């Protein structure tokens, strides 16, 4: 079927791990173990935060929401990756354009909301440490719910517009050098023209709107560090210990996103390079989040040890 002389593609091909087809069984086993670990660890930390009344505080609400995003994103990518490895033997994978666009919407929405949730955590820590006398007034349960809704709804609305723009693009190519779909890769397959330029500009705008809070995150933690340098050693130690997990996750997530954006721009000619790096970004980001929050947040780690010891004794 053609439209204005261009090929309107109804299905796309994901390269996957076609260059590593001889190791499909090993890849399947590794990804399965990692997915089970992420599923268990994310669910465990979320359960502890929800079940322990002492952890019903704004900071932990943002942490649980962030891990929920991580869990949802893992469930979005890992099972599809596992089924592709099982059915295609690490070869080329056919996927409908509609399904690809749905996955692109979910990936962009979850990725954007994760960045905004990290910004909300930084804002919460900034008020708690730099303005402790006004914290209870400024960070009320109603405002926390409002911030959570904003963190989820804004990227979703922007993602809907991206989906509508991408759905109108005529595609001249159908092969993605990726293990999952995203809007930038779909736009790169288009035949060009005004519609592709509009989608490209909107993708840049989407990235700027979502990533811009990173500047606020850096400002917040820099301000916290400045305050800690002027206070007592015990106060500084406690404050930095609270902020360290958030900083580790922020830098992990930011570096992964930046590398992924660079990878899309450069688009290595070797398929194995792009798919391997993409997969490593997925692994590092999803595996590190529950480990950091489960081990580095003292309040959470205490309950994790207690729960695991009870399970072992029973």
Half-sphere exposure of 73 (CA within 13 A, CB side): 26
pLDDT tens for each residue of 13-51? 665 555 455 566 777 788 888 889 989 989 989 999 998
DSSP letter assigned to residue 91: S
| pLDDT level of residue 4 (50, 70, 90 thresholds) | very low
Q: Are strands 93-96 and 11-14 parallel, antiparallel or unpaired?
A: antiparallel
pLDDT tens for each residue of 78-101? 887 787 777 665 556 777 888 888
Sheet bearing 11-14, strands edge to edge: 93-96, 11-14, 175-176
What residues are paired with 94 via a beta bridge? 13
pLDDT tens for each residue of 143-198? 999 999 999 999 999 889 888 888 887 777 777 777 777 777 777 777 777 777 78
Of 195, 192, 186, 188, residue with least CA distance to 168: 195
Q: Which two tokens stand for residue 301?
A: 């780690």
CB 275 within 8 A of CB 90: no
CB 139 within 8 A of CB 124: yes
Half-sphere exposure of 273 (CA within 13 A, CB side): 9
Residue 1 reports pLDDT greater than 50: no
The share of the chain scoring above pLDDT 70, in percent, equals 82
What residues are paired with 11 via a beta bridge? 96
pTM of the shown model: 0.84
Q: Which two tokens stand for residue 130?
A: 């730099």
CB 274 within 8 A of CB 267: yes
């Amino acid at each position: 079927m053609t439209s204005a002389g261009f090929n309107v593609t109804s299905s796309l091909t994901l390269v996957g791990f076609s260059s590593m087809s001889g190791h499909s069984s090993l890849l399947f086993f590794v990804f399965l173990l990692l997915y089970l670990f992420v599923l268990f660890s994310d669910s465990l930390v979320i359960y502890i935060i929800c079940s322990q009344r002492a952890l019903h505080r704004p900071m932990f609400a943002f942490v649980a929401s962030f891990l929920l995003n991580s869990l949802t994103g893992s469930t979005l990518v890992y099972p599809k990756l596992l089924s592709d490895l099982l059915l295609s033997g690490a070869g080329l994978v056919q996927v409908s354009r509609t399904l690809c666009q749905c996955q692109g919407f979910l990936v962009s929405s979850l990725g954007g909301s994760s960045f905004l949730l990290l910004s909300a955590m930084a804002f919460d820590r900034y008020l708690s440490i730099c303005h402790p006398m006004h914290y209870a007034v400024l960070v009320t349960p109603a405002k926390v719910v409002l911030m959570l809704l904003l963190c989820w709804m804004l990227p979703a609305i922007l993602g809907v517009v991206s989906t509508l723009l991408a759905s109108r693009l005529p595609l001249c190519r159908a092969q993605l050098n990726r293990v999952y779909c995203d809007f930038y890769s779909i736009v790169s397959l288009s035949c060009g023209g005004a519609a592709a330029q509009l989608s490209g500009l909107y993708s840049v705008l989407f990235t700027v709107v979502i990533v811009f809070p990173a500047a606020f995150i850096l400002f917040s933690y820099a301000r916290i560090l400045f305050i800690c340098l002027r206070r007592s050693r015990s106060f500084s130690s406690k404050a930095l210990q609270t902020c360290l997990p958030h900083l580790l996750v922020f830098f992990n997530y930011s570096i992964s996103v930046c590398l992924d954006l660079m990878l899309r721009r450069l688009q290595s000619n070797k398929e194995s390079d792009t798919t391997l790096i993409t997969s490593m970004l997925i692994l590092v980001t999803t595996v590190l989040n529950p480990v950091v929050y489960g081990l580095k947040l003292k309040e959470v780690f205490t309950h994790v040890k207690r729960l695991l010891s009870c399970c072992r004794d029973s």
